[in-house]
Structure formats: structure tokens, C-alpha cells
Structure 1
Amino acid sequence: MPEYPAISSSEIGSLWMTYQQKTLILRMLEYFIEKADDDKAKEIMTSLYQEIHPYVERIVVIFQEEGVPVPIGFTSEDVNPEVPSLYDNGFDIMFVRIIKEISMAMHTLNITMAYREDIIDIFRELTGITQKYYEYCTQYLLGKGLLPRSPYISVERKVEFVRDISYLGGFNPLTGKRPLNTVEVAHIYRAIETNTVGMKMILGFAQAAHEKEVSKYFAKGGDLAKSLIKEMSEVLLKNDIQVPSTAGGNVTTSKLSPFSDKIMMYCVSLFCSFSLGGNSVGTAFSQRHDLPAKLAVFMKDIYEYAHEGATLMIRHGWLEEPPQTEKQTKR
């Protein structure tokens, strides 16, 4: 066995976050696999489960060897595969696809904070697995007609350079706004697509949550996702760009939750963090001033919503602390 240096603080933190996320995914997959009504979808999810499960065990071994407390994460107590389906018509793969998109971002960031070869290997291998299953999910949904492609548009036939600062404009009602460019369309549509899946997820959570205040919190999140979808869709429509509709992934009438409130709250927190990051990228690459302004308002609302959720989780004892720095004894 090779000898490695002691684990660093950033490596502990990134492995801890990975453990939380992977145990969440495993519990969600256990339910979706049990309820899958399509053989191909079940095959994708079962194979994914089998590939990522060993990485949870590898993290446990590293923590035990380094004397780091093994996190609780999410266990069999957080899932009940026996209850009726909460979603139907392809939502399982829609959810897995978004989770894999979140994982790609996390593993890419985590690999930049790792120094030990064994830990770098974990994130490199997880990145490969994530990309593979993201592609599987995308092709599955396209084949089933459950994933509309981003809008098709006509583009200029020659290369142009920006020659006037008005290109950046967006506020002057007299001069109007220039047409959206393809980079801006891409980020706007991605926000619509991910929030549509997130809205369906959280409305199902609201319908089945055990605690009344948690149900109300989820319903509020559903309204927030709806408002973002509406606002961004209007931006496209004002540019004569039709917004493709997302079919399938419906919430059923079941009010029996397959998941604990704890795991659903953490899942929503994960989606909020992902949304904040995605909107930040969209803001950075939008060159029309009105678009970052719109996204900034939503980022503020999402941040406040996430903070409200963290407060709710603390009140119920659901928010697990990352490993803390040891307190120094004063002399």
C-alpha cells in the first residue's frame, strides 16, 4: 500500500460534502429503482447505484484511517420504497440527470482542492462516471420525447465585432434592446429547463412532507421556481423565440412521502446552491445589462429562501455539521 501524507482540511471538506451528496443519491435511487415502470430507466439507475456505492465506502475508509468522524449522511431511515409512486412518466431520469449535472460541477471543483493522489483519483473517477450517466439520461429522455432541445434560431451568416457600447444596453426604453445572442439564449434556457424539473420535484415534496411547516416551505419554493420560469420565458418570447415545453415528470396524487423531511430539505438546499452557481455563470456571460439585473433579483430570492431552509433544518436538528477545527486551549 502506498503511503500518503496526512489529509488536508480542504480534502476533508470536499470528501465530507461528497459523502453527503452520494448517500442522498443512493437513497433516492433506492426508491426510484423500486418504482421504475420502464426497464431501460431501471437499468440506468441500477447501474449508476452499483458504480457510485463503492466510493462511499472508500470515503469511510479514508476518514477512519485519518481519525476523522464518519458522517451520518443519509441512511435507510430516510427512504421508504414501499409507498406509492410520488412521480410518474420519466421524472426519475429527469431527476438523476439534474443530480449528475450538479455532481459534474462539484467534482470539478473538488479535484482542484485535492492534493493526495488517492483523493484526486476518487474525484477523477467520479467525474467520468458522472459524465457517462449524464449522457445516458440525456439520450434516454430525448428518445422518450421527454427532453425538449433548446430553441432553434436563425443566426447571422457572417462574423461581426461589437462596434458600439449600446450592445451592452438593456435599460433604455427609447433605444430598445438588441436581440439576444446565442450564449444568452443558452443560459436562459438552461435556467428554465433546470427550474422546471426542480419545480416538479419540490411540488411533490410539498404534497407529501410530514411536517406542515416543511410542506409550506416547499410550496414557497415551487412558487419561486414558477416565477423564474415565467420571467425567463417572457425574455425569450419578447425576442420572438418560442420556449419549448417540457413534457412528463408529473406529480401523482399520492400524499405518502417516500423520503424523510430531512433528506428532502437537504435535496432542496443542494438545488438552491446549484441554482445560485448556475445563475452566477449566466450573469457573467450575459452582455445585455438587463439580464444580469433580472438574474440578480432571483439570486437574492434564492439565497434568502436557502437561508430560511437552513434555519428550518437547524430547528429540527437535520443540519449535520462539517468536521470542525479543534478548539485551542487557552493558557
Structure 2
Amino acid sequence: MENKQISLTAAEISTLWSSFLYDSMTIQVIRFMKEKVKNEDIKPAIEKAYDIALRHLFEYEKIYHMENMPVPYGFTEKDVELGAPDLFTDTFKLTYILHMSRVGMVTHTASLALAARKDMRQLYGSCLRNVEELYQLASDVALAMGLYLRRPYIPYPKQVSLIHDKSYLSGMNPMTSHRILNSIEISHLSLNIETNQTGVMLTSGFMQTAQSPEVKKYMQKGKEISKDHISKFSAILLKDDIQAPISADHAITDSTTAVFSEKLMMFHMSLMSTAGFGNYAAAAAASQRSDLTLLYEKLSLQIGLYAKDGANIMIENRWLEEPPAAPNRDQLGKNKK
């Protein structure tokens, strides 16, 4: 059966819409980085990221036109000022590509799993392969330059062991000592430190270039949240004599000239919040110590409230596009009368 005879499902419409907004935003950030990058080792990763985002956006638009659906507004070259002074160091540009390629692998995997129609499965499979290639390239460059953020090491296990005591799952009693972290818990704590370090840098850059006091205040709050979460996660690792990941020389410049539209910056923070929420949910599900599960749930609530504040700002300024929705059957019935 031809694809044109099969309508897109609600899941396929939603992933197409989300993917379009994600890539149309990302391409504007990378467009600026591509214009400013000077390091010849980092430049190929930036250029590849830009080319991938362009190809993805082209494929999304083809489907919108084929299905006779309106193309979302998304983001355009009007949302970035290429003539502004550089806001990010080249090392942060590489870190940004690494972070966004990880986010891309997660989102495209989810989109592929939700796709039914053959062309949609092929699209998201191709998108996934593209961002995986980008991640491999950016990782190789970071390792070669000594910029890859290494996560903690532990000794190799010498034998296979079974859990014999239910106390292995405990951690809430302040009167008893916690068991030592296992490798799964260490990996999630480390990953969440790393993503929050990226969040600190982004919010710092957005805060110093935002024009409205409202957006500046929002970015300042996001920076404080990220720094607080880094502190909490690092303290848990250090309590077991495990070194927390230390960021390399990732920084922003001292430029205060507006680079990105406030609509783009607010949407970017919404994306970061969504990714962080997903990371914490995965960490809570995988962690076997009850105190860690509770901590992730508590911090997830904080991120959720922060994201809601951001959504309110975007709605008030008419920056937030509405996702495709099912028709209101009750309202349609009333209109018919």
C-alpha cells in the first residue's frame, strides 16, 4: 500500500511537529557557531551539525507539504544576529554539539519507536544515524583535544555477586549509613552533573545577552537551579570518595550584545528542561537506593515548576506555538446548532 493512502497517526504528527521545532531552533544556534568558530579541529563537527539540521528540516517540510498540513513557524534567520560578537568559546561549541547530539539520539529513537508508516520509520532511522555519526565525530575530536569530560572510574569486578539484604535498597534512614553507590547510580549522577554544567553555561550566555528583565531573571533562576543540582549530585559522589566530573575550559565570552531572539532562548530552555526531566526520570527508575530516587523526584518537581514559569512567559509574549490537537467534539456539536 502506498504511503499516501495511509494518514499519519497522532504520534507521527506530534513527533514531526516537535522535530521541526527542535531542528529549526538548533540550526540557528549552530549557524551562529559556524560563523564564529576558529579552531580547525572543532570546525568539522560544527559544519556537520549544521548540514544535518538542514537536511532534517528539508525532509520535515517535504512531509508537511505532501500531507497538506501547515508548516509550523519554528525559527528562522530572524532569530539570530550573525554580526554580533562571539558569545561562546570554541571548546563550549564542541560541548554543545556533544550535548545536543545526545538529546537528538534520544528524541529520534523515541520518534522511530512511535512511527508506523514506512517513510516515517525511514526518516527517523536516517535522523538517528545522522546524529549518531555526529556524536562519534564530536567525541573523537573532544578526546583528541583532551576536552572530553571523563566520568568516574571504578575497579573492575572480580566476581559475580547477588544481593542478600533488603537494606541494599534503603537510604532514607538518617541514623544509618548508606551503602556505597553502584556503577549504575554513579553513571546517572555523573551524566546529570555534566548536563547541568552545560545548562549553567547556556543560561549564563542567555542571561547576559537577553534584553528584557523578565527573560534575564528567568535565565538567572535557571542558572541557580543547575548549580544547586550540580552541588547536590557532586556531594553524593564525594561522600563515597568518587570524584565528580570536572568541566573543561567551557566558557562564554563577556559579550552582552543580543545574539538570539528571546523567543529562541526561552524555547531552548524549555527543551533543556524537558531533557533534564527525562534524565532525572531515567535516573530515578534505575537507582536502587531509595534516597536517590526521592532526590530525583524532588528535583524533577523543581524543573517542572521552572518549565511552567517559562511556558507562562512564552504564552504572555505570544512565543509559544500550540501543538496539533484532536478536535473538540463537544464544541463542534455546539457550533452545529
- Given the alignment of the two structures, is residue 236 of structure 1 paired with residue 242 of structure 2, yes or no? no
Q: Give 1:174's aligned residue.
A: 175
- Given the alignment of the two structures, is residue 22 of structure 1 paired with residue 3 of structure 2, yes or no? no
Q: Secondary structure at 1:112's aligned position in 2?
A: helix
- Given the alignment of the two structures, is residue 209 of structure 1 paired with residue 210 of structure 2, yes or no? yes
Q: Which moved more, 1:270-279 or 1:319-328?
A: 319-328
Q: Which moved more, 1:51-60 or 1:267-276?
A: 51-60
The RMSD of aligned alpha carbons is: 1.5
Q: Give 2:199's aligned residue.
A: 198
CA distance in 1, matches of 2:289, 2:189: 12
CA distance in 2, matches of 1:173, 1:324: 47
Q: Which runs of structure 2 are paired with 1:107-256 in the superposition (5 Å)?
A: 107-256=108-257
Q: Which moved more, 1:15-24 or 1:249-258?
A: 249-258
Q: Which runs of structure 2 are paired with 1:92-107 in the superposition (5 Å)?
A: 92-107=93-108
The CA deviation string for residues 263-282 of structure 1, in whole angstroms up to 9 with x for no partner, is 11111100100000001111
Q: Give 2:277's aligned residue.
A: 276
Q: Secondary structure at 2:230's aligned position in 1?
A: helix
CA distance in 1, matches of 2:2, 2:140: 40
The AA in structure 2 aligned to 1:299 is: S
- Given the alignment of the two structures, is residue 287 of structure 1 paired with residue 288 of structure 2, yes or no? yes
The AA in structure 1 aligned to 2:133 is: K
For the Cα contact (< 8 Å) 2:37–2:90, is it kept in 1? no
For the Cα contact (< 8 Å) 2:3–2:118, is it kept in 1? no
Alpha-carbon offset, residue 79 of structure 1: 0.6
Q: Give 1:312's aligned residue.
A: 313
CA distance in 2, matches of 1:151, 1:133: 24
For the Cα contact (< 8 Å) 1:89–1:248, is it kept in 2? no
- Given the alignment of the two structures, is residue 56 of structure 1 paired with residue 57 of structure 2, yes or no? yes
For the Cα contact (< 8 Å) 2:194–2:245, is it kept in 1? no
Q: Give 1:323's aligned residue.
A: 324
CA distance in 2, matches of 1:148, 1:114: 34
The CA deviation string for residues 164-217 of structure 1, in whole angstroms up to 9 with x for no partner, is 101111122333111001111000000001110111111110111111110110
CA distance in 2, matches of 1:221, 1:14: 26
Gaps of 5+ in 2: none
Relative contact order higher in (CA < 8 Å, ≥ 6 apart): 1
For the Cα contact (< 8 Å) 2:39–2:90, is it kept in 1? no
The AA in structure 1 aligned to 2:229 is: L
For the Cα contact (< 8 Å) 2:24–2:53, is it kept in 1? no
Gaps of 5+ in 1: none
Normalised to the residue count of structure 1, the TM-score between the two structures is 0.96
For the Cα contact (< 8 Å) 1:286–1:292, is it kept in 2? yes
The CA deviation string for residues 82-118 of structure 1, in whole angstroms up to 9 with x for no partner, is 1111111411111111111111111111112211111
CA distance in 2, matches of 1:158, 1:187: 23
CA distance in 1, matches of 2:186, 2:96: 23
Alpha-carbon offset, residue 258 of structure 1: 1.3
CA distance in 2, matches of 1:119, 1:173: 51
